[in-house]
Amino acid sequence: MLFRQIVGQKELIESLIKAVSLGRVPHAQLFWGPEGNEKLALALAYAQYLNCTNRLYASQGADLGGLSSDSCGQCPSCRKFEKLVHPDLHFIYPNNINGGSVKKDSQSLDYIDLWRETLLKNDAEFSYNEWIEKMDIGDRQAIINIRDCGRILQTLSLKSSEARFRIIVIWMIEKLSPTIASTLLKTLEEPEPQTVFLLVSENTDQILPTILSRTQMVKVPRIENADIERHLLARGVEAATAHRAAGESSGNLITARLRCSHNEIRENFHASFADWMRLCFRVDMPALVAFAERQKSLGRENLKFFFEHCMDEIHACLLIGNNCADKVFADAEEKKFWTNFSKFVTGENINHYYKIFDDAIFAVGRNAYVPTLITDMSMELCRVLAAAQQALKKAGNGAKA
């Protein structure tokens, strides 16, 4: 991975380049920040840069997309880093048995092919949940376990084979089982020479303080929406879609990419959501049962996305109802529906709506039976809407969805 392939984060990249140029390479760094902000990609690009034997510099005429320096991408070290097969690049990440190819005593190494493939396919940007799904471990939790710690120690006991810096990347260090953390502490405190630990985390409050205190924290902020939009445009995404996906991404690249790939079905999502709310408003139970049956064909992943989409629509209604229409990305039909529906979305009931969809996303992940789940949701939504109508009547505003 090259620094110039990373979406946004220019300032942070420059600070890493500068530290390296001053010979300041801490032995343990923690790249932390919210999901979808290129932390893992940054750690990988940094690792590659540390070991590149032919670094490029803008001051020497290299075109590095606005950066002052970067890896060459061509030297033998870079080539191995780009394929993630460098013998001095080690990965630890949460894992568990999957009952299939990994039946007992799982460790990161059991999934190394899948890990490399997932990293390369997604430019090192994917969520913990996506990783769990890839491993196919069902509803088991993925953790970093004693075998993984054992492997780190074993790796450290061997001489590094060829690189300037031996790199150990631990993704989602917060998933380190607390009972075995002590195994790592001594290593983090007194590392082997020329060994660099790059820890990556989304929830630093779940990391043991003893680990935190032994690492240098590198805060990775959310990506700017403008950087995400530029990235999507460069990937050939149509301008309106890129603008919208970036605007709705909250600086999360994973969300933005998903939004783009779901753009086509998204129009159907809006139509489905509007129909559903109208049926709930009329408490048309036979039609609601038929609606629930139809949603089964979406499949679980799309269904989760549909529920997230419903929450976005509810949120848009709240914004419009509170004179913040300029914060909402919408076409004419959506805006018209949301403006009408916004009367039934208030500060009092918004959490009730969110809870209905949130619980449903959880239930879909737990293999709930879809038609029953959606029918139950419909009944709950009917109740929320009836209460909202009542409140409006009381306030003297008769209304129609």
Residues of the shown chain interacting with Zn ion in the complex, contacts defined by CB under 5 A: 52, 54, 71-72, 75, 78
Nearest approach, Cβ of 74 to Zn ion (angstroms)?
6
- 53's CB contacts (< 8 A; 6+ apart) are 72, 75, 76, 77, 164
Residues with Cβ within 8 Å of residue 235, at least 6 apart in sequence: none
Which sign does the torsion angle of CA 239, 240, 243, 246 carry?
negative
State which residue, 48 or 107, has the beta carbon closest to Zn ion: 48
Total residues found in the chain within this entry: 401
**Between 71 and 96, whose beta carbon lies closer to Zn ion?**
71
Cβ contact 97:104 at 8 Å = yes
150 to each of 31, 103, 140, 145, 398, how far by Cα in Å?
23, 19, 22, 9, 68
Q: Which is nearer to Zn ion, 54 or 397 (CB)?
A: 54
Helix (H, G, I), strand (E, B) or coil at 220: coil
Is the Cβ of residue 147 or residue 164 nearer to Zn ion in the bound state?
Answer: 164
Shortest Cβ 52–Zn ion spacing (Å): 3
Q: How far is the CB of 80 from Zn ion (least distance, A)?
A: 10
Query: At closest approach, how far in Å is the CB of 192 from Zn ion?
Result: 23
Closer Cβ to Zn ion, 151 or 164, answer by number: 164
Q: How far is the CB of 191 from Zn ion (least distance, A)?
A: 24
Distances (CA, A) of 282 to 318, 319, 394: 21, 24, 19
Which residue, 1, 36, 4, 38, is CA-closest to 259?
A: 36
* Both structure tokens of 167: 């790199």
Alpha helices, DSSP H only, in 158-224? 181-189, 209-212
Q: Tell the smallest beta-carbon distance from residue 48 to Zn ion (Å).
A: 7
> Closer CB to Zn ion, residue 164 or residue 383?
164
Structure tokens at 240: 């309106």
